[in-house]
A and B are shown apart, each in its own frame.
Chain A
Amino acid sequence: MGFELPLFYVFAAVAVVTSALVIGQRSPVYSVMLLIASFAALAGLYVLLDAPFVAVIQIIIYAGAILVLFLFVVMLLNAPKEAAPWERVAAGPRRAGAVLGVVLAGELAWALWHAALSREPAGGGQGMPAHAIDSVRAIGQVLYTDYAFAFEVTSLLILVAMVGAVVLAKRRV
């Protein structure tokens, strides 16, 4: 399996570079396209982790559905190229954003530090049988037994978002 490591670096590099470029782009359509490239690289990483199901789901849901909607909205509004960022955001929100950014960076550093210290997999490693991630059957079993509550709550959240969208779009139903 000598080719896994170089592949990992290729996918990781593509993911990082395209993600950075997403923010750097002025044209929203290019941003969306770069985000798709980033998701594709992530899917490649999942395949390397022996999780083809997660990889394919990543492509179907994010690249195939959500980003098409993004692109749809961007095209429909025909958003012009953005002006330089400092021209359109007021000072107050900019400072608040900076503070939030520092907090997020701190949290990420903390999480990485702890992940590096303990070799346990995320989530404590309980409830998931060995090699659960590579089998669709195992994912389904765990999702509908151990994590049934989280699963149902998520679907409720999505339903709330849908109701909200309908209410916003149609003032009088």
Chain B
Amino acid sequence: MPSITVIVQLGLVFAVFVLLLLSSAAMVYAERKVAAFIQQREGPNRVGPFGLLQPFADVIKLMFKEELRPGGADTVLFLMAPVISATAAIAAFAVVPFGAKTTFFGLLDQPITLQVADVNVAVLVVFAITSMSVYGIVLAGWSSNSKYSLLGGLRSASQMISYELPYGLTLASVLILANSLSLTDIVNRQEGYWLGFIPRWFVFVQPVGFLIFMIAGVAETNRAPFDFPEAEQELVAGYHTEYSSMAFAMFFLAEYINMVTVSAVATDLFLGGWHGPFLPASLGWIWFLIKISALLFFYIWMRWTLPRYRYDQLMQFGWKILLPLAVVNLLATAAGVILLGV
């Protein structure tokens, strides 16, 4: 006889899974609407009210497309690549907490955190799983047996490795401040206010760290202005040139879910997670949603505003500016913690 806690936990797993899928649908819609707004167009407005059903129309269209596979492709890896991408994207969210402890209106005896799995090294788990997603892209590029795909895959591998270093170093500086590897602990450290009105969010202590984290996050998710693996003017569509139908859709799903995960982790690390004024702690997830949405809007805004870098500039920027900056930031944080004894 499974206890009610187990049932609630399983329900939570299912809910997070469905919400992630829905969030990528919402992201498709938001991306098209915001892009249209920036370019002074209407955007999708035919399917459903305000075009809200457009993502579902897209999914239905993609499902009925023919599944193509190039003759020279490596069948096993070609089919495996999108699965790896999507799996890594969804799995990474498992350790991200998105709300304060709750008993679901007295349903449970013990309050549980709104999170699929509370791991005491959660920060590193997110880092590990997102670093796996590069394999999906690299293998897609290699197994397609096409020049454009291969170039896209190679670019993606070097880009993701280069930007993982500053990403990891900023993580480390937050860990020094929070003195814990658990995302729940890190969020709880940011509760309360300085001087009564400034929230104790790490973004105010770590402005440079937040900036580096967001830039590296954009590069990790292959979004514009760092979207070299799929630069359409040079590489047709990069690593997913040869993909069609649902396999193609899985890459897109992975990209949007990765954006959501990066924003969620950034919210937990720098923006105080579910802590915010005006709302009781049990409704903290609303603050969490607001913060994530703001970051995601920023992502989309950036994509439709900034032109793409040149590839050598991207590498120069990553290794010669971002990485040294992250190292200095880490050293300064450590020195500050020792001197001030925070």
Contacts and interface: CB of A to CB of B under 8 A. Distances in A.
A36 B132 CA distance: 10
B53 interface: no
A53 B135 contact: no
Contact of A60 (B127, B138, B150, B181): B127
Nearest to B133: A64
Interface in B117-169: 119-121, 124-125, 127-129, 131-132, 134-135, 138-139, 141-142, 150, 153-154, 157-158, 160-161, 164
Contacts of A21: none
Interface string A49-63: 000110011011001
Contacts of A56: 121, 124-125, 127-128
A78 B134 CA distance: 18
Given A71-B138, A75-B142, A65 B161 contact: yes
Contacts of A12: none
B138 A75 contact: yes
Contacts of A64: 127-128, 131-132, 134, 164
B325 interface: no
A29 interface: yes
Interface residues of A, number: 20
B12 interface: no
B132 A59 contact: yes
B131 A60 contact: yes
Most A CB contacts (10 A, CB to CB) among B74, B128, B161 go to: B128
Contacts of A59: 128-129, 131-132
Given A59-B132, A60-B131, A65-B131, A136 B181 contact: yes
A78 B49 CA distance: 51
A80 B78 CA distance: 18
B157 A68 contact: yes
A143 interface: no
B291 to A, nearest CB: 26
Contacts of B153: 75
A128 interface: no
Contact of A68 (B128, B138, B141): B138
Interface string A21-46: 00000000110010010000000000
A47 B154 CA distance: 32
A135 to B, nearest CB: 9
A167 interface: no
B77 interface: yes
A4 B121 CA distance: 21
Contacts of B150: 75
Interface in A53-95: 53, 56-57, 59-60, 63-65, 68-69, 71-72, 75-76
Contacts of A53: 121, 124, 181
Contacts of B135: 33, 36, 68, 71
A72 B154 CA distance: 7
A31 to B, nearest CB: 12
A63 B120 CA distance: 21
Contacts of B141: 75
Interface string B60-94: 00000000000000100100000000000000000
Contact of B121 (A52, A68, A71, A76): A52
B133 to A, nearest CB: 10
A131 to B, nearest CB: 13
Nearest to B175: A136
29 contacts: A29-B77, A29-B139, A29-B142, A33-B77, A33-B135, A52-B120, A53-B121, A56-B124, A56-B127, A59-B132, A60-B127, A60-B128, A60-B131, A63-B128, A63-B132, A64-B127, A64-B132, A64-B134, A68-B131, A68-B135, A68-B138, A72-B154, A72-B157, A75-B138, A75-B141, A75-B150, A75-B153, A75-B157, A76-B154
Smallest CB-CB A-B distances: 5 pairs: A64-B131, A59-B128, A56-B124, A60-B128, A72-B157
Interface of A: 29-30, 33, 36, 52-53, 56-57, 59-60, 63-65, 68-69, 71-72, 75-76, 136
